[in-house]
Structure 1
Amino acid sequence: MRTGVIGASGYTGGDLVRLLLFHPKAELTCVTSRQFSGKYLSSVHPNLRGITQIKFEEFNVNKISDRCDYIFLGVPHRASMNIVPQLLETGVKIIDLSADFRIKNLETYEYYYGKHEHPELLGKSIYGISELHKEEIKKANLVSCPGCLASSAILGAAPMIGSGAVDLERIVIDSKVGSSASGREFSLSTHHPERANIVRPYKATNHRHTAEMEQELSEVAGKQVKIAFSAHAVDMVRGILTTIHLFLEKELTEKEVWGLFREFYNDEPFIRIIKQKTGIYRLPDPKVIVGTNYCDIGFEIDEHMPRVVVLSALDNLIKGAAGQAVQCMNLMEGIDETTGLKFPGIHPY
C-alpha cells in the first residue's frame, strides 16, 4: 500500500509516519508540510533520525494522489473539508483525522465548528471507530477518525448503552488528558511553567466532542442519548483516562456487567477488559498503554447510588488518532486489522 500523510509535522502526523514506516504492508511515499517543505522528516520528528531520508513537500493534489493508494489527513479542523473533495475525484482512499466529516448532522456540525463548505459529503464518510463500524470501514473510500476524547468515551460506554439498564438521558463523562492533545502549536496555557503540576478544567461544558459521543452512542442505543461531558488537562504528555457514570434503571450484578463487555467486544484485538483483585493497576491506567493501540476498560458497581462507573484509558495519539487511522486502513485494504499495530507499551514510563 502506497501511503501519504498530508500535514505530517504535528504530533499525530509524527506517530502516523512512524507507524507507516514500520508497517510490513505499507510504503510511505510522501509527507507534506507548508512550513517545513524541503526539510527532512527527521528535522521535525527527531525520533526518526537514521530511519528515513524522506522530505516534506508542498501539497499538490495531482502529484500526491499519483503516488498514493491511501492518504491520511493530519491537517487542522476546517482545512480538510476543501481537500477531501479534490482527493475523492482522484480515486485514492482517504482517512481524515480532523473533525470535518465526523458529524453527520449539518446543524450539529455548524453549532460546534461553524459553516461547512461541503455538507453533501457529511453522510458519505464512515466514522472510524473500528470496533463499532468494522464492516462499513472495509467498504469505505472516506473514513473520518474520531476525536481522542470521544474515542475513550464511546469505547467505554458503548457496551452498556444498549443493555436497557442505563438511564440514557443522564450520562456523565469526565476525561483527563495529557498535553499532546493540544497539538504541536503552543500557547500560554501549554507553556511548561503554566502546564506543569496541574489538573485544569478547560472545557467543563459544551465540549465539541460531545456531538460525536451522542451521535455514536445514540446509534448503539437505538434512541437519543444525552451526555454531560467535561474535560481536564493534567500533567502528563500522553494518555487519557475517562470516567463514565452510568446511572442504572435496573440492578446489575458484577457478572452481568462483565458479560455485557465481553459480549460486545468479543474478540476485538485492541480492547482489554481490566479488573484485577490485587496490584496497583487493578483498573485502567493511561501509564501502561502509552505508545500502544490498546484501549483498556474497567468498571466498578456503586451500590450506594445505583450506577456503574466505567474507566477507559488510551493513548490519545495512537488509539485516539494515528493507530486508529492505521487500523482503519488495514480494514479498508482487507488485511488483518492488527497489522503493524501489535506491540506493547513501555513500562515504566
Structure 2
Amino acid sequence: MSNGPPVTAGKSLILDGITQRYGASLAVDTVTLDIRGGELVALLGPSGCGKTTLLRAIAGFLKPTEGRVIIGGEAVDHLPPNKRSVGIVFQNYALFPHMTVAENVAYGLAARGRPKQEQKARVAEMLDLVRLGHLADRFPKQMSGGQQQRVALARALAVRPSILLLDEPFAALDKNLRLDMQIEIKGIQRLAGTTTVIVTHDQEEALSMADRVAVLNAGRLEQFAPPTEIYDRPGSLFVNTFVGAANVFAGRLATAPDGARRVVLDTGEEWATGTGSSLPADARVTACIRPEHLRLVEDGLGLDGTVEIGLPLGSTLVHEIRTRDGRGIKISEPRAPGAGPRPPGTPVRIRPVAPDVVSVFSEARA
C-alpha cells in the first residue's frame, strides 16, 4: 500500500468551541480543533473523556450545547446527518447480512438515487481500492473480521464523503490482525485523500496511524500535536502518564549557577531537566521519565536501587527496580543478542540518559 501523498485533498474540518452538557454534567468543555484537508486525526482518551460525543457532533447525531462544526469552510450545524457528507465506519461494521459485498458497498449510492451504471462503476472502484473485488458476490458471514472491516470502509468511501469517521474500528480484531488493518486503512485513507477522524482509547493505534493526535481528558483538550510531539514533549502530566509508560517522582525545581534547571527529588538525588523553564525557581514539581529513558549503572551518580525482577521481551529487557524508599521503577533497554536480565537482588544505580528526557510539571497540575 502506498505511503505517498493523497490523490486528492479532502475538506477541512473545524470544531469551534464545542461544548456539550447533559443536565448538570459537562461532557465536552470548549474543545477547538482545526483539522486540515486530507489529514487523519485521532481523538484519544479514556472512557468518558468526550471523544465519542465529539464524533457524534461531527456526524450530526447530536447538536452541541455551544460551538460550531465547520466542514470545508461552511457551518453544518443546521444540517441533518444525511446532508453533511460524512461517512462513518462503526465498531461492529454494521453490514447488512442479507446483502452481498457489492450490494453493501452500493447501498449509500442507491439511497442517493445514483444511476445503476454509476453504482456499478463506483463499487468496482472501491472494492479494487480495498482489494476485495474478487469477493464481490460473498455475504458478510462468509468473510473474516478484517475483510468485513474493509467492506465497511469501502461502503463509507463510496459516496465520496467530505469527512470519514472511524469509531473504535479495530476493537473487535485480534492484536496481529489489528496491526495489519491499521496499516491497510492508513494506506487506503492516503490514497482516497479523505479527511479522517478516528476515535480510540488505544494509544498505540493513535500514535501509529494519525498525522496528529488530540488527547482528551474529562471533556477538555489536553494537547493537539503530531504523535512524536505528544510522546516526546507531552503538554501536561496527564498526557505524559496516559500516553506511554512513565515513572513519576515528586521534587522541587532548582536552578544551577549556569542557569540550567535541575530537579531535586524528594529522595535527595538531582537530575538535570530540559523542561520547566516557565515555572518559578524552587517550585514543587512532578517529574516524569519514560522507562526507555533510564539506564542501569553499577557505579557513578544515580538513584540507588535493587533489581526485583527482569523480563526479556524480544529485543528489549525490562527491569522492575525497587529503590531504597520502596518505590518501584520500570526500566526498558535494548537487549543485545544472547543477553539476559540482571538477576533479582542485583544492586544498581539509575540515571536518565539525557536532561531533555526529564519532563517536569507543576505539582498543582497533578
Larger Rg: 2
Q: Considering the TM-score relative to the shorter chain, is it more than 0.5?
A: no
Query: What range is the shorter-chain TM-score in?
Result: under 0.3
Return the TM-score normalized by structure 2: 0.24
> TM-score, normalized by length of structure 1?
0.25
